[in-house]
Amino acid sequence: MGYPHPSHPDETPVISKYFGDAGARSLVGWQERGGYESLRTALATDPVEVQNVVKDSGLRGRGGAGFPTGVKWSFMKPDGKTHYLCVNADESEPGTFKDREIMRWTPHQLVEGTAIAAHAIYAETAYIYIRGEYTEPIARVTEAIREAYGAGILGANAMGSGKRVDVHVHKGAGAYICGEETALMNSLEGRRGNPRIKPPFPAVAGLFAQPTTINNVETVCAATHVLKHGADWYKSLSSPSNPRSTGTKLFSVCGNVARPGNYEVGMGFAMKDFLWDLCGGPPAGRRFKAIIPGGSSVPILTPEEAEAAVMDYEGIQAAGSLLGSGGVICFDDTQCMVRQIARLCRFYAHESCAQCTQCREGTAWTVKILERIRDGEGTMKDLDTLLEIADNMTGKTICVLSDSCATPVVSGLKKFRHEFEAKIQKNRSSVMIPSFSTAAA
Amino acid sequence: MSLHAIAPHGHDAHEAYVPVFTGARRAELDELLTRYPTRMAALLPALWMLQEDRGWVSPDGIEEVAQVLELTPAYIRGVVTFYTMYHQHPVGKHFVQVCTTTPCNVCGAEDVVTAFLKETKCGELGVTSPDGRFTIVEVECLGACGFATPVMINAALVECVSVDSVKDLVAGLD
Amino acid sequence: MTAPAPVAPANPGMVTLTIEGRTVVVPPGTNLIEAAKTAGVLIPHYCYHPSLPVAGVCRMCLVEVEKFPKLTPACATSVGEGQIVHVHSDKAREARKGVLEFLLINHPLDCPICDQAGECELQDYTFAEGRKDSRYMEPKRFNPMEDFGGDVLYVPNRCILCTRCVRFMDVVAQDPVLNVSERGDRAYIGKFEGHDLTHAWAGNVVDLCPVGALLSKDFLNKARAWELDRAASICPGCSQGCNVMIETRDNVVVRIRPRPNAAVNQHFACDVGRLDYRWINRRDRLEYPQVRTAQGLQTASWSEAIAAAAAAIAEASRVTVLASPSLSNETLFLLSRIATHVKANAVMCVPRGPEAPLAGAKDLALRAERAANHTGAGLLGFIDVIAPLAGLGAHDVVIAVDAAGALASIPDGVRVIVIGTVLDESTSASTVAALPVCNFAEEDGTFTNLRGRVQRFLQAKAPPAQVRPSYRVVSELAATAGVGTYPALAGEIFTVLAATVPAFGGLSYRTLGLQGGPAALLPEVTA
């Protein structure tokens, strides 16, 4: 539902059904709403079967990369090693705040999904890594875990299944990059949150060098509903025209928009209807200037491009951007794109872990040039330099933070170049100095 | 920050350091250690406890955590400086973090910062007000973009702060 | 994550691939940098170091591998059967050019005052493939220099955050006193106040640093890299036998650095070995041969001095050969021939000190035995003693070779033939002849380390005045004393030694090369 707004009839609230319903927070409240039935079913089912149901559902990772969840789980084999599940609740991508609401309103939904995923990958221990700024979500999830242990849902004999499922909350401490899966593992191990070089991949050597699966909060929550209602039901929630993007997706909407909030729609929803009907369009009297459809790391779209898009992995890609984490950032016609792109790059420069040369130096340099242009001190040559730096920052580093910083520069310069040029020319307009004759001086 | 921003400890006015990890705190840490296969994994939680109790992550505190977790102080310093939520210096009683990243920025977050600086008499980002009550910082995305402008005051998040609501908000803090 | 279809190996048990058009056959698991080295191809890199865990952060070693979707870091990529690797393709060169530009935007243009200039990998690669101009118009980052303690100075402005120093202290020294502090472009190498780089092997971070960010305080401003002459040598500081390079400027030793030898010291040397070199340059030397006359010790010709020494040996009722266990195998061999001929006791005194291991390296330590050739001396018949002069008296002759320290008090009547570098005042009264010889840096030779590895060292500087190599002086003494005729060159003496002493059988300077080889009778622990 479009929390904090009433649900719109075109929404398909599955994960977000109980947002705003304080009664769903407690164990009793969650059980009254059908909670933990999925977990009971899962624990009685062979992990391979659980993997297969999720595979059949077509569920793909909701953290941004969109990797098929069931396939990811199937990398984990019963090999006698200690397996770990990490749930990525380090929601830090600017424009994204869906996991926050899941944890605030339905913490047991997350605990249930976590336990199911742990079972599916032969793990007895799961860590939910929640960003340190999420004080309320941390408190809610911690309380839910406490209740679940108390009721025997978690622990040595989870729901009487004879299986051990331990779930712990691990609190982050302020670092965007810890949302990157291997950085998260380093952070959990008590290290700097530096992304790791791959291989080895987490499924081979992840957390504490053991086979590890990492899933987004929304992903494991979606899995509980898949198990409860079946793969076919899940697929029926999305547009049948694209079987590669299934089920529902939570979209966070923010920036210059009439009704910011979280909206859950079936994959394949028309973005024009989404922006105007559900979110109410731009603030009164203004027009959209730009839309970033999938969190700050994806290419910027013009309103025309965005409104023509279909909201699923393939649809947004076809429009020239990415579904990403589903954070929709709206810019209206009062915004200076140079200023906002510079600000976005400042975010990445601030959050660069400092490992890779291109990222450490390139993000900061990009910001310096953009801020100089913003302040009217830029040159036309700077625009070429920016694009070349962006190229040198793309596809060359351990993780994609560097690429993410280059993305708004490249797409911004492509679509809003006139704004950059106007900034540059504003204080440097051509002035003809009349010729003075000095011959008769 | 510069290399020399961290003042050496152990000066004349230095009071004897009272350990954090004794009694109930030690028990809490010991319980945490059972959750992980390594002692190092308890580093972030231990630093959180230190900061909760002392208001910041002091060099003495780092030395204590190093001893308890069998790490070196230099290693811990590397970790502490990676994470922005650990205070490397004492801060005001009310530590106010205003999100100014793009989604909030387009909603006027910078004006909210200005309002806080004026209302708390801090004047400058990162500087504690003369009465020791406030420190204002800009923070990168708090993950509450739909509630622009979100502001964290110590461990509490305030949604939808506007220039107009800053005055009452500050007045409501002791 | 899907594995490509396995390719049948062209060379069973090995991986065959093509790097820059050259066919390379290497063991599985070899990374592309090492594989390329075998074909004589250098893949530029900063953070990679063969003795450290792979970090993969500098991104300088990005290469193009056919069928890979994007450039791949050669340090973190294992060889694959049939791979075709391009190091100097346009894409790879452009990527390196980009990295160099990023590294330079905040790097000061202070090569003229930087100790690293001339041996700086940032300078070298920039010269080879960097941009000719700078596009950076903003102020450069500034952080002040910091004394890291020990012999190490940190110049953060030059730092490229390759983290070699951090990884060395963490993984190899196992004393993590360095860290990366802060993040983004604010990052720097940090330490904790009160915890300095005092580890016995900390000086290695200076060598590991590919740029001028970590400097040796000892070497600071002493010389430019291109002014130095270099000679391969062996550290004489203890029985480990670390391979080193002695660097001289105008015949003065100014720096000693480790020379890689996987079987002995990997890429490392301890701080004692690095910094204890000033004695090599001492000028208070015995520069001419001397003989005792009625007027005391007087300068003489070499033939007069050798004759006087030989006469003293002939007259003696008993001879003791007291040799330093830091002499070369060659000199000790000749001394042992004299000792055998005149039925002398061959003895030595071994100085000792605290052992300081490098925890993360196999069988590598500053050894308690502070002598370079204790093992070799033992193989050549020298016996450890504590008081070499005990029980000696009139009619005893001691041949003391580089053993001034062991001659603390000389019993009355004992006559001493001093063969050494410095004339000790305490011995002068009893000295019948003083024969000035080279120190180890001034001559060629071999040492046998504690694991029995025989290793060559080469002459690094010229000796002063009439000072001669120790093996030559002892060879002439042997001839004059009627012991026998031996060659005058170190390599030829070694050949005789190898033919005479079974432990050294089969070895020659040619087979030893500059990496050494094992003495036959000792198990080779480090091989």
Record: contact A365-C138, CB cut-off 8 A: yes
Q: What is the pLDDT of residues A6-50, one digit of tens each?
A: 889 999 999 999 999 999 999 999 999 999 999 999 999 999 999
Give residue B9's pLDDT: 46
- DSSP codes, A225-269: HHHHH-HHHHHHTS-TT-TTS-SEEEEEEEES-SS-EEEEEETTE
Is C183 touching A (CB cutoff 8 A)?
A: yes
State the pLDDT confidence band at A60, using cuts at 50, 70 and 90: very high
Record: contact C105-A203, CB cut-off 8 A: no
The 8-class DSSP code of residue C261 comes to B
Q: What is the pLDDT of residues C90-114, one digit of tens each?
A: 999 999 999 999 999 999 999 999 9
Q: Decide: helix, strand or coil at residue C342.
A: coil
Q: Which residues of chain B have pLDDT under 70?
A: 1-14
Is B6 touching C (CB cutoff 8 A)?
A: yes
Can you say whether residue C518 is alpha, beta or left, with left for phi > 0 and alpha for psi between -120 and 50 degrees? beta
The residue among C412 and A338 whose pLDDT is bigger is A338
Contact A97, A262 (CB under 8 A): yes
Q: Is the pLDDT of residue C309 over 50?
A: yes
Which chain A residues are closer than 8 Å to C2 by Cβ?
Answer: none
Q: For chain B, which residues lie within 8 Å of any Cβ of chain A, measuring from their own Cβ?
A: 35-38, 40-45, 47-48, 69, 71, 78-79, 82-86, 97, 100-103, 105-107, 139-148, 152, 155-157
Q: Which residue in chain B is spatially nearest to A92 when comparing CA positions?
A: B143
Mention every residue, 6+ apart, whose C-beta is less than 8 A from residue A253. A259, A260, A261, A262, A263, A279, A328, A330, B146
Is A212 touching B (CB cutoff 8 A)?
A: no
Give residue A5's pLDDT: 86
Q: What is the pLDDT of residues C341-376, one digit of tens each?
A: 999 999 999 999 999 999 999 999 999 999 999 999
Record: contact B81-C183, CB cut-off 8 A: yes
Which chain B residues are closer than 8 Å to C144 by Cβ?
Answer: 2-4
Beta-carbon-side half-sphere exposure of residue A402 (alpha carbons within 13 Å): 29
C336: its two tokens: 């042992």
Which chain C residues are closer than 8 Å to A201 by Cβ?
Answer: 1
Contact A126, A86 (CB under 8 A): yes
Q: What is the pLDDT of residues A116-175, one digit of tens each?
A: 999 999 999 999 999 999 999 999 999 999 999 999 999 999 999 999 999 999 999 999
Record: contact A173-B38, CB cut-off 8 A: no
CA distance to partner chain A, nearest, from residue C8 (Å): 23
CA distance to partner chain B, nearest, from residue C90 (Å): 36
| CA quadruple C354, C356, C362, C364: dihedral, nearest 10 | -70
Q: Amino acid identity of C70?
A: K
> For an interface test with B, which of A136, A154, A186, A254 has the most B Cβ atoms less than 10 Å from its Cβ?
A254
Record: contact B59-C192, CB cut-off 8 A: yes
C-proximal residues of A, 160-219, CB under 8 Å = 175, 192, 197, 201, 203
- Look at chain C and count its residues: 527
Is B75 touching C (CB cutoff 8 A)?
A: yes
Q: Is the pLDDT of residue A371 over 50?
A: yes
Q: What is the pLDDT of residues C423-466, one digit of tens each?
A: 777 677 889 999 999 999 999 999 999 999 999 999 999 999 99
Q: Which residue in chain C is spatially nearest to B84 when comparing CA positions?
A: C182
Report the pLDDT averaged over residues A315-339. 96
Contact C456, C490 (CB under 8 A): no
Report the pLDDT averaged over residues C118-147. 95
Beta pairing partners, B137: B97
Can you say whether residue C484 is alpha, beta or left, with left for phi > 0 and alpha for psi between -120 and 50 degrees? left
Give residue C419's pLDDT: 95
Q: Is the pLDDT of residue C527 over 60?
A: no
Give C1-9's long-range contacts (Cβ < 8 A, gap of 24+): C1/A75, C1/A201, C1/A203, C4/C80, C6/C81, C7/C80, C7/C81, C7/C82, C8/C81, C9/C81
Record: contact C193-B9, CB cut-off 8 A: yes
Count interface pairs A-B at CB distance under 8 A. Answer: 144
Count interface pairs B-C at CB distance under 8 A. Answer: 55
What are residue A220's phi and psi, to 5 degrees?
-70, -30
State the pLDDT confidence band at C519, using cuts at 50, 70 and 90: confident
Q: Is the pLDDT of residue C139 over 80?
A: yes
Cα–Cα separations (whole angstroms), residue C375 to A159, A371, C41, C371: 69, 68, 39, 9
Which chain C residues are closer than 8 Å to B6 by Cβ?
Answer: 193
Q: Decide: helix, strand or coil at residue C84.
A: strand
What gap in Å lies between CA C144 and CA A394, rounded to an integer?
Answer: 32
- Measured between CB atoms, which of C1, C94, C102 is closest to A357? C102
Q: Is C287 exposed, middle or buried (0-12, 13-18, 19+ CB in 10 A)?
A: middle
State the pLDDT confidence band at C394, using cuts at 50, 70 and 90: confident
> For an interface test with C, which of B4, B11, B72 has the most C Cβ atoms less than 10 Å from its Cβ?
B72
Is C186 touching B (CB cutoff 8 A)?
A: yes
What gap in Å lies between CA C173 and CA C198, rounded to an integer?
Answer: 11
Beta pairing partners, C255: C247
Which chain B residues are closer than 8 Å to A137 by Cβ?
Answer: none
Stated as kind and residue range, the H or E segment containing A346 is helix A337-351
Is A75 touching C (CB cutoff 8 A)?
A: yes
Task: Give the residue from C20, C26, C112 showing the smallest Cα distance to C63.
Answer: C20
Record: contact C1-A201, CB cut-off 8 A: yes
Which chain C residues are closer than 8 Å to A397 by Cβ?
Answer: 59
Which chain C residues are closer than 8 Å to A353 by Cβ?
Answer: 183-184
- DSSP codes, A11-33: ---STTTTTT-GGGSSHHHHHHT
Q: Which residue is associated with the tokens 């070089």?
A: A197
Report the pLDDT averaged over residues C277-293. 93
The residue among A198 and B5 whose pLDDT is bigger is A198
Tell me the residue ranges of DSSP E strands in B24-133. 94-99
The angle formed by the CA atoms of residues B149, B155 and B160, to the nearest 5 degrees, is 15
Record: contact C98-A372, CB cut-off 8 A: no
Record: contact C146-B3, CB cut-off 8 A: yes
State the pLDDT confidence band at C525, using cuts at 50, 70 and 90: very low
Is B72 touching C (CB cutoff 8 A)?
A: yes
CA distance to partner chain C, nearest, from residue B78 (Å): 5
Mention every residue, 6+ apart, whose C-beta is less than 8 A from residue A119. A42, A43, A47, A50, A163, A165
Q: Is the pLDDT of residue A429 over 70?
A: no
CB atoms within 10 A of CB B93: 15
Give residue C67's pLDDT: 95
* H-type alpha helices, A80-230: 98-105, 107-120, 135-150, 181-188, 217-229
What gap in Å lies between CA A8 and CA A13, rounded to an integer?
Answer: 9
Q: What is the pLDDT of residues C31-56, one digit of tens each?
A: 999 999 999 999 999 999 999 999 99
**Angle formed by the axes of helices B43-54 and B23-33, nearest 10°:** 160
Q: Decide: helix, strand or coil at residue C360.
A: coil
Give residue A4's pLDDT: 84
Give residue A428's pLDDT: 56
- Measured between CB atoms, which of C182, C191, C193 is closest to B8? C193
State the pLDDT confidence band at A1, using cuts at 50, 70 and 90: low
Q: Decide: helix, strand or coil at residue C393.
A: coil
Is A65 touching C (CB cutoff 8 A)?
A: no
CA distance to partner chain A, nearest, from residue B101 (Å): 7
C497: its two tokens: 């030694």
Give residue A114's pLDDT: 98
Report the pLDDT averaged over residues C389-413. 86
The angle formed by the CA atoms of residues C441, C445 and C450, to the nearest 5 degrees, is 100
User: Mean of the per-residue pLDDT values for chain A?
Assistant: 95
What gap in Å lies between CA C219 and CA C274, rounded to an integer?
Answer: 10
Stated as kind and residue range, the H or E segment containing C325 is none
CB atoms within 10 A of CB A240: 9
What gap in Å lies between CA A183 and CA A181, rounded to an integer?
Answer: 5
Q: Which residue in chain C is spatially nearest to A369 when comparing CA positions?
A: C138
> For an interface test with C, which of A347, A360, A367, A388 has the most C Cβ atoms less than 10 Å from its Cβ?
A360
What gap in Å lies between CA A324 and CA A297, rounded to an integer?
Answer: 8
State the pLDDT confidence band at A439, using cuts at 50, 70 and 90: low
Give the 3-state secondary structure of B129-155.
Answer: CCCCCEEEEEECCCCCHHHCCCEEECC
Report the pLDDT averaged over residues C165-175. 97
Which chain B residues are closer than 8 Å to C181 by Cβ?
Answer: 77-78, 81
Strand-strand pairing, C415-420 and C431-436: parallel
State the pLDDT confidence band at C408, using cuts at 50, 70 and 90: confident
- Measured between CB atoms, which of B4, B8, B74 is closest to C191? B74
Give residue A441's pLDDT: 52
CA distance to partner chain C, nearest, from residue B165 (Å): 34
Query: What's the ipTM?
Result: 0.93
Q: Which residue in chain C is spatially nearest to B81 when comparing CA positions?
A: C182
B-proximal residues of A, 302-331, CB under 8 Å = 327, 329-331
Q: Which residue in chain A is spatially nearest to B34 when comparing CA positions?
A: A168
The 8-class DSSP code of residue A277 comes to I
Which chain B residues are closer than 8 Å to C147 by Cβ?
Answer: none
- Look at chain B and count its residues: 174
User: Mean of the per-residue pLDDT values for chain C?
Assistant: 94
Kindly report whether the global pTM for this prediction surpasses the value 0.90.
Answer: yes
- Look at chain A and count its residues: 441
The angle formed by the CA atoms of residues C38, C43 and C44, to the nearest 5 degrees, is 140
Stated as kind and residue range, the H or E segment containing A340 is helix A337-351
Give residue C427's pLDDT: 72
Distance of CA C302 to the CA centre of its chain: 33
Cα–Cα separations (whole angstroms), residue C116 to C61, C213, C221, C243: 21, 8, 10, 22
Q: Is the pLDDT of residue A99 over 90?
A: yes
CA distance to partner chain C, nearest, from residue B171 (Å): 35
Is A216 touching B (CB cutoff 8 A)?
A: no
> For an interface test with A, which of C31, C47, C59, C133 has the most A Cβ atoms less than 10 Å from its Cβ?
C59
Strand-strand pairing, C396-401 and C318-323: parallel
Strand-strand pairing, C188-190 and C146-149: unpaired
State the pLDDT confidence band at C236, using cuts at 50, 70 and 90: very high
- Measured between CB atoms, which of B45, B100, B140 is closest to A176? B140
- Measured between CB atoms, which of A350, A351, A354 is closest to C161? A354
